[in-house]
Structures are given as structure tokens and as C-alpha cells.
Structure 1
């Protein structure tokens, strides 16, 4: 298995790896990690829980990690292949990247027993939307050229939205819809403290790149004017927008901006102890059609009710377990917030628990990966 490193998909990668392990697949993980390290390149080879990890940490320099990815994976994986006898080799490429697509294309041409599978979480033109100017724009065009050259060499495709197939012209017979998966590997997060908290809490945790949408959500909360409710905001923001959120927090004490939470266990605990979680995106933004908000699995599994936007990228089956905003504007969101907080506590609690049960029964990594393996290899043995 090949696994690409990207901050927005680390949790999804871990879920896929654990799902493969729970389905008794022998796994080798290859990754290039860009970090603010002292050295230029550092290699790491280790084995944890019978999973082999082969990674290199490269200094975070403009496009340096992408250059390394183009040439690192192929020879590394080629050295592993002769040690596999008889069984099929299944090569997962997690995310659409030039390095992953090129590696899969070359290995597929060299070794007949490899099956290459691309897990598409986003359409390339909607990835890394910020800062595409000058040299970065040129390099992204080169990146796209390499992707387009190799992307149709895969045996199978996993897509998180049915609209990806038509956008990328993927043969439906080669594609399976797996919108994501919940990694139920235990993390110590502490107990439920909701009853001990003096005020109710609404929580947003996720990307803060879409500043206009975040401001709409904040306006909606202020319009709702719900008594004794705190709005907690977690996520990475640009320095300028971070200052704007700090200023808003100072002006409105019931809005609290906490920045990016590095401790995942602590964040999960806060999600469990919130009274409502927000997964709100503007459906007019085209990228929402071609992606599935992976954070939704984590939110629903917390047992806390979730309020979402009506998005094309979310399958209809999920809306039975979610509060839904039909129109993305401050007034509509405010009305939804008021309706939700007028509901009896036991009804809210039961609604959240129903969503939790749905995720933990039907959308775990083990269940979703089993569907993938049945689709890709059937009854064949995997190396």
C-alpha cells in the first residue's frame, strides 16, 4: 500500500490502514511528510502492530516534497515486490497526487500481478485553492499534467462522491462509492461532562479557509440570540482571519475562538461534551459537490447532534440522522438553531445517539474496507 501525506486526510489515511488491518491484509505504508525539520531529509523505517512503515521526512520547502514524491516511491516499492510470492499485490494510492499517480502507472506497467487502486477524496482542480499565483500556478499545471497522464491507468477507483465519476470521466464499472469511513480505534477522551457544564455549547471544528461562510455562521449565531449558549470555534485560520476571530471573541464573550487544537483526544472530548456540532458549508461552492466532509463521521460518532448544510456530496441516507439547513444564509441557520435549542434535552440526546449508532454499525473502517476489498479483489488472496 502507498499512502500520501496531507494534513486534511491524515485521519482518513489512518482509518483506511486500520480497516485493512482489521480485514487481515498485510500492509506496507509509504509516505513523504513535509515538516519544519532541521535536516533536509530524514528516513524512517519501522514496524508497528505488524504494519511496515517506510517514510521520509523532508524539510518544508516550496514544492520540495512534491518533487521527492515523484521519484521516491517507485524504487522503494519495487524492492518490496520480489519478496511477495504468489499472492496479489494491491497498491492503494490515497488521494490524487502526481507522485502517487506516476508511481502506480510505472509499477502497473512493470509488474502484471499488481492491482492499482486510486482513492479519490477531491477533484484535483479544487485542491489547495489558496495562493495559486505566479510560480505556484505554473507548478500546479505541471502537477496536473502528470496526474492526467497516469490517472486512467488504475484498475479500480474509490470515490467519495458519485459526481467525481462524471467530472473525471471514470468508467462506472471500475468505480465504487465509499464516501469515507469511521476509525473506531479507541482514543482516551474522558467521560461525558455535559450535565456539569453551566452553559450549553455549540461547536465548530474544521477548516476555516472559507472565511465568508464562517462569518455567515457567526452572524447566524448572533441573530439567533440564544440565552446561555457558547459558540466554540476550533480550526486553523490565516493570521489575518485569526485576528478577526479574536476581535469578534472580544466583542462577543459568548463566541470563543480557540485556534487549532493539536490534541485529537482533547478535541474529541469537546465534541462529545458539546450540545450541537456544526458542519456548515456553502453549497454554492462547486467543490462541495465533489467531496464528502470526512469530519462528519467523527461528529456523528460523538453522540452529539449535528447541524449540516444540504450538500450534493452527502448521500441521502445520512440526512435521516442530521439536522439540515436547506438554504445557506444567516437567517435560515439562526432559525434552525432556535428550533433545535427549543427541543427537550432527552429528544436531542436520542437524536445524537441514533446518528452514533448508524455510524458505528454501518460506516466503520472494517465495514467500509470490506466493501472495497470485495469490489477490488473478490475472493483472491492479497499479499
Structure 2
């Protein structure tokens, strides 16, 4: 089987340069890692070619108007071609769409004799999805998409300023919602997603996430734990994701000899910096490399995800940090998100009460558990994800789904 994967995957050093050079809205580190794991896992079993758009915000949030990078080999010699585009409103989307149309057409013609081929998108992004679906229909190639989030919510994550941008985002939201239902197959993060993007019951598979298999060698020893105890959060720093409530809950804890470590970027950063100045126990580390995040996770006492479980969008998401936290071997405390399958429940701690007072009490109770017992709990969670959710296992699940889709099509 031959696969054309269309996403925003980049060479690793180049990607982190993009993160550090982006002024306000930064590319998603978690999204980049997820794509890389899928590509690495699939490439070990099947032939894959990559077409990638550079994941940057429109000028001047990213300081370059012309975005172009030569084709190169990434990871284990996998070829990737980057889509050149003009990084200005509307022109960005139009140039990405035109180049994608040309590249996909050329790829389909070059591989017209191969029956077992498929186009696999990383997200329902109109400039890449429209030409892929059109050419797939015309030239008889199945088109499948990963659905990391629902279009109805994706465009609401960040507030828009200005009439033009507001209507442009509304247009893209409507187009994306229309595209949602037109793929031949879906890779979903939660089972709830199928009710919105797949009402026609097309073939789908649920793969809630994955972790790198090489994390098996990660060391997490009690002797490495930070003193005083540290509670850690790493991820998107948006108020709607519960970071404000987490900080307030931490401030109310009766245990004063402990710290709160915060990593990431988002619209709540300025507030976090101000609070960290007032309470020296709160440490804001900014955006660091994934390797550094992992190192701090192993040194922390407790890893936390405060995302509110009563928000509608939580049914349609599986936070990537859930699996990463569990793979670190440090215990995870999370809200009872509906998108987390029941098989995880015995390996994680949950907030029984999501009020500030309830969260404060729960964190206090867990930090009162002997360190040896906490360590054993974290190690059990680590074993579970490394055996069942590593990127090789999960990618094989996706690959088997794609093979079955093509097999049923060619009958």
C-alpha cells in the first residue's frame, strides 16, 4: 500500500525554530509530535510520502511573507515536500490549495497503476482537504482524515479581532463543517466524534493517542524527585482549559512546602507571570523542548490536567498530555473527561469535585500519600500505556484500518 500523508510535519530543528520565531500564536508542539509518531509508525510497515504546509500564523505574527523550504528527508529517511505559500490573509489559503491540487494530481497520475493507494490528511483543513477530496473522487483514490478536534469547536479556540478576520474564520468554519462528512474514512480520538463528523457511518477507527516507544527507557526514580514536592502542568495555557482554576486551587492548599510548575504558551501567560511574581512557589518555565518537559515530568510529584469536564468540547477531545503524563511514570490527576475510555480509570487519579475548593482538597490529599505508594501507582500507569498505547501499536491499528478500507473497496 502506498500512502500520501498531507499535514504540517517538519524537520525537528526547523519546527522548534518556528516555535521560537512565532511572535504570538505558536505552532502546536503536541500536534507535531502526534503527526511524527503516526508517520514513523506507518513508515515502518508501509510506503509513505509526505506533503507538508509549514505550520505558522499569518504575517506579521510570523515574520515572513514568503514561506518556502526545500524538500528534505526527515526521521528515518522519509521524504517530505513543503508547500510554498504567500503568508498573507486569503493568499495563504489560496496558494496552499493550488499547490496541493497540483501535487496531488501529479502523485495520482504517477501512481495510477497502483490499486492500493490512499490519501491520508492530518486534519480537515480546507486548502488541503478540498483538492484532495475532489481529485480522489475524479481519479478513484480513497481519502481518509485524522480528526484531532471538531470543526465546530476548533475555530472557537481563539478570539478573533476585526470584522474581516471574523468573517474569514466563519467562512472557514462553515466550509470545514461541510467537508467533515465527505471523507471515505476517519481516524477519531474519541467515540463521541462519530456522531458529528460521521453521521453516514463511514468506516472509522478510534485511536485516542499514542506515546513514543523509546520512552520505555525513561528513568523515573524516587531519588530524582524534586524537594519540595512539585505539581506540574504542561500544555496550552488558555483560561478555558482550567489553568486559572488550577492556580487558585494550588494557592489555597494548606501544604505550603510545595511548588506548581507551569509549561506552555497561550492567552493566559501574562496572568501566570503576574501571579508567579506574587507567589514564588509558582514557577513558569515558558515553552521548552519536549525532552526538557519529559525530564521535569519525571522529577515532579504529581502531574495535573485541570480541563473542565462539563464543557461540551471535552467529549470530542483526548488531551495528548494524558498519555505522555502516564508514560513518564509520575501519577496523573485529571478531571473525569468523558473522552477518556473506561480502561484508563484504574491508572489515573481524578478530581471528584471540580470547584476550586474541591481541586485544592484533592491535590492536598494526594500529596499526603506516601511517596513510595505514589511511585508504584505511576509505574503501573506507565506499564499500561507503554504496552498498549505506544506509537508502533497504535500506528499498526491505523494501518490495519486503512488496509481493510482498501480491501473492501477493491472487492
**TM-score, length of structure 2 as denominator length:** 0.84
C-alpha spacing 1:276/1:101, structure 2 compared with 1 (3 Å): same
> Which residue number corresponds to residue 228 of structure 1?
257
CA RMSD of aligned residues (A): 2.5
Structure 1 residue 159 corresponds to structure 2 residue 188: yes
Q: Structure 1 runs of 4+ off > 4 angstroms?
A: 57-60, 185-194
Offset of 1:175 from its aligned partner? 1.8
Offset of 1:149 from its aligned partner? 4.2
Offset of 1:257 from its aligned partner? 1.6
**Counterpart contact for 2:241–2:306, Cα < 8 Å:** no
Q: Secondary structure at the match of 1:378?
A: helix
Q: Secondary structure at the match of 1:53?
A: strand
Offset of 1:284 from its aligned partner? 2.2
**Distance (whole Å) between structure 1 residues aligned to residue 216 and residue 317 of structure 2:** 26
Offset of 1:189 from its aligned partner? 7.7
Offset of 1:107 from its aligned partner? 2.0
Q: Map Cα deviations across residues 7-43 of structure 1 (whole Å, 9 max, x no partner).
A: 2511111111111023x11111111114435451313
> Which residue number corresponds to residue 219 of structure 1?
248
Structure 1 residue 172 corresponds to structure 2 residue 193: no
> Which residue number corresponds to residue 293 of structure 1?
319
**Distance (whole Å) between structure 2 residues aligned to residue 212 and residue 170 of structure 1:** 28
**Distance (whole Å) between structure 1 residues aligned to residue 65 and residue 221 of structure 2:** 43
C-alpha spacing 1:74/1:58, structure 2 compared with 1 (3 Å): closer
Q: Which has the higher contact order (CA 8 A, sep 6+)?
A: 1
Offset of 1:117 from its aligned partner? 0.8
**Distance (whole Å) between structure 2 residues aligned to residue 75 and residue 40 of structure 1:** 19
**Distance (whole Å) between structure 2 residues aligned to residue 255 and residue 86 of structure 1:** 57
> Which residue number corresponds to residue 110 of structure 1?
138
Q: Map Cα deviations across residues 217-246 of structure 1 (whole Å, 9 max, x no partner).
A: 1111122222421111111033xx433222
C-alpha spacing 1:190/1:303, structure 2 compared with 1 (3 Å): closer
Q: Secondary structure at the match of 1:377?
A: helix
Structure 1 residue 360 corresponds to structure 2 residue 381: no
**TM-score, length of structure 1 as denominator length:** 0.90
C-alpha spacing 1:148/1:234, structure 2 compared with 1 (3 Å): closer
**Counterpart contact for 2:219–2:298, Cα < 8 Å:** no
Structure 1 residue 95 corresponds to structure 2 residue 123: yes
**Distance (whole Å) between structure 1 residues aligned to residue 286 and residue 69 of structure 2:** 31
Structure 1 residue 123 corresponds to structure 2 residue 150: yes
> Which residue number corresponds to residue 332 of structure 1?
358
> Which residue number corresponds to residue 307 of structure 1?
333
C-alpha spacing 1:226/1:328, structure 2 compared with 1 (3 Å): same
> Which residue number corresponds to residue 67 of structure 1?
94
> Which residue number corresponds to residue 350 of structure 1?
376
How many residue pairs match? The answer is: 376
Offset of 1:166 from its aligned partner? 1.2
**Distance (whole Å) between structure 1 residues aligned to residue 100 and residue 405 of structure 2:** 28
> Which residue number corresponds to residue 253 of structure 1?
280
Q: Map Cα deviations across residues 332-378 of structure 1 (whole Å, 9 max, x no partner).
A: 11111121111111111111111111111111121112222222323
Give unmatched runs, 5+ long, in structure 2.
9-26, 57-61
